[in-house]
Structure 1
Amino acid sequence: MSAVTTSNSDRLQELGNAKVWRLLLKYSLPAVVGTVVMAVYNIIDSIVIGHAIDDPNVVSGIAVTFPVMNLATALGMLIGAGASTRISIVMGQDNKRMAEVILGNSVQLTVIIGITYMTLFALFLTPILKMFGASENSLPYAREFLMWVLPGMVLMNLTFSYNNVMRATGYPEKAMYTNLIGAGLNAILAPLFLFGFHWGIKGAAIATDISMIVTSFFVMSHFFQKKSVLHFKRGTFALNWHVIKSILYIGMAPFMINVAGSAINAIVNNSLLQYGGDNAIASVVVFNRFVTIFVMIVIGICQGMQPILGYNYGSGRIDRLFRTLWLAAGSGLCITTIGSLLGAFNPQAIASMFMQDSEQIECAVNCLRITTIGFWMVGFQIVGTNFFQSLGMAGKAVFLSLTRQIIFMIPMLLILPPHFGLDGVWGCYPVCDMVATTVTCIMLAVQLKKIKKEKLNPSV
């Protein structure tokens, strides 16, 4: 028992004592592997579906499912990101009992919210899909896919929520294995069900459901083991309004990011339908899947950064907090710069991976060339937003989350497309990337100056 206690103590102490670059590498690398693997298996889904079903409308059908799945993901992140951040902070304050209560409350919140949204989506799926830009041609594919994948979304929320907590409590490698198991299983089953069993688009959905069943069992079993730093205990499951509020407050930032993304996807899809038709909507699949690889790498870095920032902020180690931020920001900027260059100079090969139809490919190539112009800045913006979230400053994180996707994007969509047509829709992306990154830089500079002042004058 003492050996377990010592090991658990060491896991937490290293967050405040080990070299920052080693910590960021240790915590980010497994997270990056996990998030990239998840992105890759979503990409494999799109590639397999696009080549297994000989109908161009299937690609645009998949495109209009993204906003709905983003909403489901957002509700999972509301709990997962909020709980993991709160646990990191209270563990830094040496309050393990409160961390256990947060852990227990998160289960009930995830299940309650999951069952609620799954029921509502199932009842109103057709009007929801039409609202998000489904045409008469793409609607049957979108509806069939979502009806089969919805049952697995609640399990996905559990997996996401507790995978974050697992990482935040000192198990980054095990958190990575969760994603590897799910991605590997899906990568095997999706082609089997589509090419082998000829189940069509529902085959990809069933493969995802099975993967979620296995990964949720794996990640939840960790918290039933008494040797884990945090595990389920009696008396921690009763809903506590103070705890719920603290989880939702911090989780609101990533939640709003995804909700905003869904709203923008709906507006963008309807603009694309107006100015470019189903081929333009299909191009969004290529753009989203491509940039997701690089965004997920940055998110992995942020997931590794989060427990380091939360613990050191909670324990007052401001010097380590600063070093972690700049290392993560520099890394994020490099990653999205690579993505921007690839999208600008190699769009034909990227589009051909997902599509067979020559007209769709031509449209997607034009999309990539324009939309990735400002993508190089996105890495810094994501890290800056996650910095505020990791410190529990949810209001500022929510604001920054909304700048790129709502506050700037909606006006641009109203201004540019009427003058430049389809190119105007694509042009909204680099304009918003530039403005949102500028705002992030300003807010970050102000906040860092404030933190420095508080360090020099603790009584202020």
Structure 2
Amino acid sequence: MTNNQAQTIAYATDTIGKLFLQTAVPIVIIMMVNGLYNVVDAWFLGIYVGAEALAAVTLMFPFQMIIIALSMTVSSGMSSILARALGAKDRQKAEVSFTLAHLISTIISTLTILLFTLWGADLVISMANGDALIENQSYSYMKILVWACPLMFYLTLHNDALRAEGYVKIMTLISLAGTALNILFNYILIVQMDLGVEGSAYGTVGAQALSFIVLLIFRHQQKKSLGLCSLTHTELSPIIKSIFGLGIPSGLNFLGVGLVTIIVIYALQIWPPADYSTTISAYGILTRVTTFTFLPLMGFAMATQTLVGHNFGAGHYSRSRDILMAAIKIAFIYCVSIEALFFLFAADIGRLFVDDPKVINDVTRLIPYMIIMFFSFGPMMIIAYYFQAIGSIAKAAILNLGRTYLFVIPLLFILPIYYGETGVWSARPVAEIGMWLLTLWVLKSGKRHKLVQDASDG
């Protein structure tokens, strides 16, 4: 019996608690460590370079989110197909999807480099708001990451494929080692070699390159793992549509994060705080810290998607719904705990990264706006990933995209008109209330409470 076959049987027979321990815990650890890197990187920049370096990297956060959104669109759509194909023992479809995802990633990453080369400098100038130092640091940082983005695309693709194939342990080891190398490289390049924001970018690229090399070596040694195949005798159009149809909700979710950040940055230029660069630095710190808390939740949702996808693909519909209900409870407990920690230690978070009292005060001021509704975020994310796992494209799209595109972005244009800068920060918690209403509407529409049957809607 191959590793894939054994894992497929385990997905369908092991207890739900055991499955979460075996599948979710490694992914959550990976995401936590990845989030920890972002926090440590911000600490290196804030302590050893200065608050302006944090501001420069924060201004480039939207560009990073756009690149991540593009890669996640391909990898997330592919992983959903792989989970169901492997659950149904259709290896040919799995390998065709895997190969197509590589081709799509190559095309998109090449176009990304071209677009940034043509217009990246102008965008950086407009976002720096006249600060030449921040402008130069921002462009130097992002240029390195953009030219290396094909590497990030392939690494994301293979990590999601390993998860779907059941190679969770090796995926965990490679990801943890890559993040540890990233932190080490950043220490050497930022602290020891004084390369500033460029050191941060080079550290990221170097760690990704080594991780990808190790991953390719593993695939070469594991003859039963997925490989690239010929596409000449296969009908590709339905698979391409499925990759984008299932992946676009997740990709647009990350794109939405980037768009929201862009709108916030420009809104702060129109309705300025007391000190623009100070508030941008504080916003950057909180973005790193909240991302650290968000990524484990996303990892848990991804694991839930894998478990549901395999069981749904094998026809175990009731078990798929049981997994959903357990995941919602776990996500809620996690989110409530994180929110409590933020409020208990609000005054200490800024001090971890900078010694500038103005930045520290701004961090404390912004925390309530950014975290007050976090308790509701987790359960709604789980529900969205569930619908994606069973192939219900319409419902997955509504729940993945509704928060950003139906609520946050419109509110960012409306609330500041009446409340100024306060309206900028109030958009997020108000949007979360709207998402609760939208989620309830989605769950009550169609076949009430028989969620696994909603796949027919996709």
Where on the TM-score scale, by shorter chain, does this alignment land: which range?
over 0.9
1:136 aligns with 2:130: yes
Evaluate the alpha carbon distance shift between residue 236 and residue 352 of structure 1 in structure 2; reply closer, same or farther with a 3 A threshold: farther
Residue in structure 2 matching 1:64, options 53, 59, 66:
59
Aligned Cα root-mean-square deviation (Å): 2.1
Which position in structure 1 is the counterpart of 2:79? 84
Contact 2:443 2:449 in 1 (8 A): no
1:202 aligns with 2:198: yes
Distance in 1, matches of 2:451 and 2:384, equals 19
The CA deviation at 1:23 is 0.8
> For structure 1, which segment, 100-109 or 226-235, has the greater mean C-alpha deviation from structure 2 after superposition?
226-235
The CA deviation at 1:22 is 0.9
Structure 1 length as normaliser, TM-score?
0.92
Which position in structure 2 is the counterpart of 1:293? 292
Contact 2:75 2:157 in 1 (8 A): yes
- TM-superposition CA deviations, 1:236-285 (whole Å, max 9, x none): 89892322221111111111101111111111111123322222222221
**Letter paired with 1:433:** E
Which position in structure 1 is the counterpart of 2:403? 404
Contact 1:225 1:231 in 2 (8 A): no
The CA deviation at 1:369 is 2.4
Contact 1:85 1:250 in 2 (8 A): yes
> For structure 1, which segment, 388-397 or 73-82, has the greater mean C-alpha deviation from structure 2 after superposition?
388-397
**Letter paired with 1:135:** N
Which position in structure 1 is the counterpart of 2:327? 328
Evaluate the alpha carbon distance shift between residue 404 and residue 235 of structure 1 in structure 2; reply closer, same or farther with a 3 A threshold: closer
1:93-108 correspondence runs (5 A): 93-108=88-103
Distance in 1, matches of 2:233 and 2:247, equals 19
Gaps of 5+ in 1: none
**Letter paired with 1:231:** G
Contact 1:257 1:398 in 2 (8 A): no
Contact 2:35 2:293 in 1 (8 A): no
Which position in structure 2 is the counterpart of 1:435? 434
**Letter paired with 1:148:** I
The CA deviation at 1:183 is 0.6
1:28-427 correspondence runs (5 A): 28-54=24-50, 56-130=51-125, 133-137=127-131, 138-234=134-230, 240-274=236-270, 275-276=272-273, 277-427=276-426
The CA deviation at 1:429 is 1.4
Contact 1:59 1:285 in 2 (8 A): yes
The CA deviation at 1:99 is 0.7
- Matched position secondary structure for 2:148: helix
Distance in 2, matches of 1:352 and 1:151, equals 34
- TM-superposition CA deviations, 1:5-40 (whole Å, max 9, x none): 444311111111111121122110010011111111
Contact 2:46 2:353 in 1 (8 A): yes
**Letter paired with 1:44:** V
Evaluate the alpha carbon distance shift between residue 454 and residue 409 of structure 1 in structure 2; reply closer, same or farther with a 3 A threshold: closer
**Letter paired with 1:103:** F
Distance in 1, matches of 2:417 and 2:363, equals 20
Distance in 1, matches of 2:111 and 2:403, equals 29
Distance in 1, matches of 2:305 and 2:453, equals 21
- TM-superposition CA deviations, 1:108-127 (whole Å, max 9, x none): 11122112112211321122
Evaluate the alpha carbon distance shift between residue 173 and residue 237 of structure 1 in structure 2; reply closer, same or farther with a 3 A threshold: farther
The CA deviation at 1:306 is 1.4
- Matched position secondary structure for 2:194: coil
The CA deviation at 1:171 is 1.2
- Matched position secondary structure for 1:65: helix
Contact 1:260 1:406 in 2 (8 A): yes
- Matched position secondary structure for 2:450: helix
Contact 1:404 1:436 in 2 (8 A): yes
Contact 2:384 2:400 in 1 (8 A): yes
> For structure 1, which segment, 217-226 or 82-91, has the greater mean C-alpha deviation from structure 2 after superposition?
217-226
Evaluate the alpha carbon distance shift between residue 129 and residue 437 of structure 1 in structure 2; reply closer, same or farther with a 3 A threshold: farther
- TM-superposition CA deviations, 1:268-325 (whole Å, max 9, x none): 1111233222222222212211111221111111121112111111222111111111
Gaps of 5+ in 2: none
Evaluate the alpha carbon distance shift between residue 238 and residue 51 of structure 1 in structure 2; reply closer, same or farther with a 3 A threshold: farther
Contact 1:333 1:377 in 2 (8 A): yes
Which position in structure 2 is the counterpart of 1:451? 450
Contact 1:34 1:178 in 2 (8 A): no
The count of residues paired between Structure 1 and Structure 2 equals 450
Distance in 2, matches of 1:237 and 1:404, equals 41
The CA deviation at 1:68 is 0.1
Evaluate the alpha carbon distance shift between residue 453 and residue 234 of structure 1 in structure 2; reply closer, same or farther with a 3 A threshold: closer
The CA deviation at 1:454 is 4.7
**Letter paired with 2:281:** A
Structure 2 length as normaliser, TM-score?
0.93
